[in-house]
Chain A
């Protein structure tokens, strides 16, 4: 995966994870164009589109668009599963997640994503393990100590 963007129906960015090195200016341009393109799609259209030399996989969950850019040899259908798994993780963590949760706790959304994907690839296929890791990290934060002997998993 090259990048993942989360944005609202009004085009406001809620999360941006870039797995390729680009300048801030380039990222802004890509975001702007892509958001426009995806928002212009009608509701019944399929979840895939070709954009520049990338394949874009997107899915709308309530008021949020989840949009991933994958490469030519990547499997579009499994990318849909990746998006769905991420939404499930958010849902489990926040308890019936909605857009506001992601706005007010954006850093948590990033932490969860970073336990599921790494460098653009899936790192953990067990929902349980991802959530456990986040839980442990949150505990570590709470305890205020970094020398906790609790090992994760």
Chain B
């Protein structure tokens, strides 16, 4: 095959010459028959050629399992040509699932112990690519022997094979640990690189190994230092950077060793600063090293100055013309935005610029980062940027963006009016993409802002008049018009342009919503109820309304029909109660936790938002039931006929329909020191059994403020943890506004929850750091 095998290349040409898929298949089937025959009948001299052809055919997607035994035969042959192709075939055709793979163990063993380096190389390569756990166990000692052989060619391969062995059979780590010390003295870059990889693998798998290898941190620092300052060799360099592969690997190992270890971190500080400032960043190789350096700095216990330097490097990356660099910068900044919030804030303008990226993966990252950077001082500017992004962003980002803006508005709204305006704008732009509870939130908000009733109803009326297709907007508008219709007709309101609205126009608009095919059933419900309420708010006679109501009394939609029938009854038999029943609603209790993440299941939101507001209503509705039956005199004040906040009404005759409130889990006080208290409250949303929300609340009853407060959390590996941005980093003294932070924990395996918290803050002029595990976690948090 060194002399271009006419046979192999001929076949390739023939296959490529086939004009159709069918033709190709024909050629290949014919050839495979020949190959099968030749496998059967021997001719060992050309076996390798036949296998090579089979491998080509295999790459095109055709079956080649009948070649497996041939691989074995070729590997066992003394000819190098045979072995080369045989081992290649083994790597491509054999896999752990077939028993055949074990049969090559013996051949590999023989090849490892005979002295030809090229052959040993083949054997090691195959073992490290497809070696199963059994094979690794059988051959571990052979590989170990090769670690200390003189030739670097075999040694570098043996070291990396050891890495594979450990990945497959972690218990064998103890064989490969001792040689590492000596291997670290290697001058050969390949062997050294393999050794660093091996040590990294050992440390990642065993805390004991990690502890053991902390001793070599000074040595590693020295190696990298030499490499960076004096170790320039053209052979190993890329664009002026000395062996970037080796540098990156060393930096990664340093990261693992320095994590959570003050002493090691300290040893590395100077080196990291050196690499961070002196690496040539004109080409990708240098940036790759710089990137790894930044990751390491952020992950170990580095000094504050170094951390700021690292974040600034990421900031510079954001301005790089190379998209790939911008991408890694955004992903890394996202990782550190919680812990180094103020440092990242400095780069906010650049991040916002990245929102305009045409590349969707970049703009998505930029969106996540921008949302994480919103705080009370920049909320107006940021919301504006995010809204302009919402107008033009790709459809799959719309939902996240809309929810993100609403969340940010909720947390940092400077005024209620701004909040209402913002929600309105989002609903108008991306109404169909917002979460279900946006409607509930907005009605809640408007209801609570009495001074803004007139303003809201006007704005909503104008928005509705323009466009009745965005359902959440329509629902809120209908509700508002129903509640505050009288304010709408009054004509004057300082905050908006004077709007003269006639009663008939209002009724016509609501009817239009009722009749439109774009309106969801829930929306129709809102509209019908709104019309009903207007019967008491408007001054004119109610003939039009009565007509509509009686028409819908025979509507096919059962929900609407029921309402219409009841409203009809209100007009006729119970007209004397109508005004009282349709009075303005009292403010509904806000339910559910704040700062909910956008991606949480809609179901959970739905039931959570539904449960608590409707709870107080069920008892009142019972009363109404009595009323309509005419059984009792109306001693209690009749409640307004209000649909529950997410638009599906609680049927009067169907009360047990309301889902039970989530069983509440008791709060847990987890920390107290000099007046600073930390409490955890837990919620398990009913729709998502694997999700646990923890609200961390910090209160400070002492005389002095707690500043620079950062709370970090850690959970076992099978859990997923997300920390939301905290409400702030200062816990004001004397019981001032508590600081809150939401933790989202996903526990799909329902494993027992363990939670470790790390707090750092300044109090009474001292910096404090506390790390502790939370005990006494209630069982309900994870079962």
Contacts and interface: CB of A to CB of B under 8 A. Distances in A.
The dominant DSSP class at the A interface is mixed
Given A75-B292, A123-B194, A107 B85 contact: yes
Contacts of B361: 45-46, 48-50
Given A46-B323, A73-B252, A141-B81, 20 more contacts: A21-B95, A44-B359, A46-B324, A46-B362, A77-B287, A77-B291, A78-B245, A80-B284, A81-B284, A106-B59, A119-B128, A119-B161, A121-B160, A122-B249, A125-B243, A125-B246, A126-B189, A129-B235, A152-B118, A153-B151
B193 A142 contact: no
Contacts of B12: 103-104
Interface of B: 1-2, 4, 9, 12, 16, 52, 55-56, 59-61, 78-81, 83-85, 88, 92, 95-97, 116-119, 121, 124-125, 128-130, 132, 151-153, 156-157, 160-161, 163-164, 189-190, 193-194, 197, 235-236, 238, 243-246, 248-249, 252, 284-285, 287-288, 291-292, 295, 323-328, 358-362
Contacts of A124: 156, 189-190
Contacts of A145: 80
Contact of B235 (A14, A18, A73, A127): A127
A23 B95 contact: yes
Contact of A78 (B84, B128, B288): B288
B142 to A, nearest CB: 16
Contact of B1 (A19, A107, A123, A125): A107
A133 B124 CA distance: 15
A22 to B, nearest CB: 7
A137 B323 CA distance: 40
B125 A114 contact: yes
B9 A104 contact: yes
A76 B365 CA distance: 16
13 contacts: A23-B95, A48-B324, A48-B327, A75-B295, A107-B84, A111-B88, A118-B125, A118-B157, A119-B164, A122-B193, A124-B156, A125-B193, A151-B151
A145 B157 CA distance: 23
Nearest to B85: A107
A7 B325 CA distance: 25
A106 B163 contact: no
Contact of A153 (B78, B128, B153, B235): B153
Contacts of B328: 48, 76-77
Interface string A1-19: 0000000000011111111
Contacts of B151: 151-153
A76 B2 CA distance: 36
A112 B358 CA distance: 38
Contacts of A110: 88
Contacts of A138: 2
B117 A152 contact: yes
A146 interface: yes
What size tier do the contact residues of chain A reach? 35 or more
A81 B324 contact: no
A73 B95 CA distance: 26
B288 A80 contact: yes
Interface string A97-119: 00000011011001100110011
B771 to A, nearest CB: 23
A148 B95 CA distance: 31
B477 to A, nearest CB: 39
Contact of B59 (A16, A104, A123): A16
Given A22-B95, A121-B160, A137-B84, A129 B9 contact: no
B21 to A, nearest CB: 12
Given A21-B130, A107-B52, A148-B116, A45 B323 contact: yes
A87 interface: no
A47 B324 contact: yes
Interface string A46-64: 1111100000000000000
B119 A44 contact: no
Interface string A72-101: 010111101110110000000000000000
Contacts of A104: 4, 9, 12
Given A78-B244, A152-B117, A125 B189 contact: yes
A13 B324 contact: no
Contacts of B153: 133, 152-153
A28 B61 contact: yes
A128 B88 CA distance: 23
A36 interface: no
Contact of B190 (A28, A47, A114, A125): A125
A146 to B, nearest CB: 4
Contacts of B119: 146
A118 to B, nearest CB: 4
Nearest to A127: B235
Given A21-B130, A81-B245, A46 B95 contact: no
Contacts of B16: 103
Nearest to A103: B12
Those 5 A-B pairs whose CB atoms lie nearest each other, nearest first? A77-B288, A119-B128, A46-B323, A78-B288, A119-B164
A81 B285 contact: yes
B95 A78 contact: no
Contacts of B197: 121
A49 B193 CA distance: 27
Nearest to B126: A114
Given A123-B157, A153-B152, A77 B132 contact: no
A136 B118 contact: yes
Contact of B118 (A49, A73, A140): A140
Contacts of A106: 55-56, 59
Contact of A77 (B4, B60, B80, B284): B284
Contacts of B359: 44-46
A144 B194 contact: no
Given A23-B95, A44-B359, A107-B55, A126 B190 contact: yes
A46 B78 CA distance: 48
Nearest to B287: A77
Most buried by B among A15, A84, A125: A125
Nearest to B116: A146
Contacts of B88: 107, 110-111
A103 B156 CA distance: 30
Contacts of A107: 1, 52, 55, 84-85, 88
B290 to A, nearest CB: 9
A50 B161 CA distance: 28
A118 B116 contact: no
Given A16-B59, A45-B359, A81-B285, A118 B97 contact: no
Nearest to A126: B235
B390 to A, nearest CB: 22
A152 B119 CA distance: 11
Nearest to A27: B95
Contact of B124 (A15, A81, A103, A118): A118
B84 A121 contact: no
Contacts of A17: 129
A16 B56 CA distance: 11
Nearest to B325: A77
A85 to B, nearest CB: 8
Most buried by A among B4, B117, B292, B325: B117
A95 to B, nearest CB: 15
Contacts of B292: 75, 78
A121 B284 contact: no
Contacts of A133: 118, 121, 153
A95 B24 CA distance: 30
B80 A121 contact: no
Given A48-B324, A152-B153, A118 B132 contact: no
A34 B633 CA distance: 71
Nearest to A50: B361
Contacts of B358: 44
A121 B163 CA distance: 9
A27 to B, nearest CB: 9
Contacts of B161: 118-119
B323 A19 contact: no
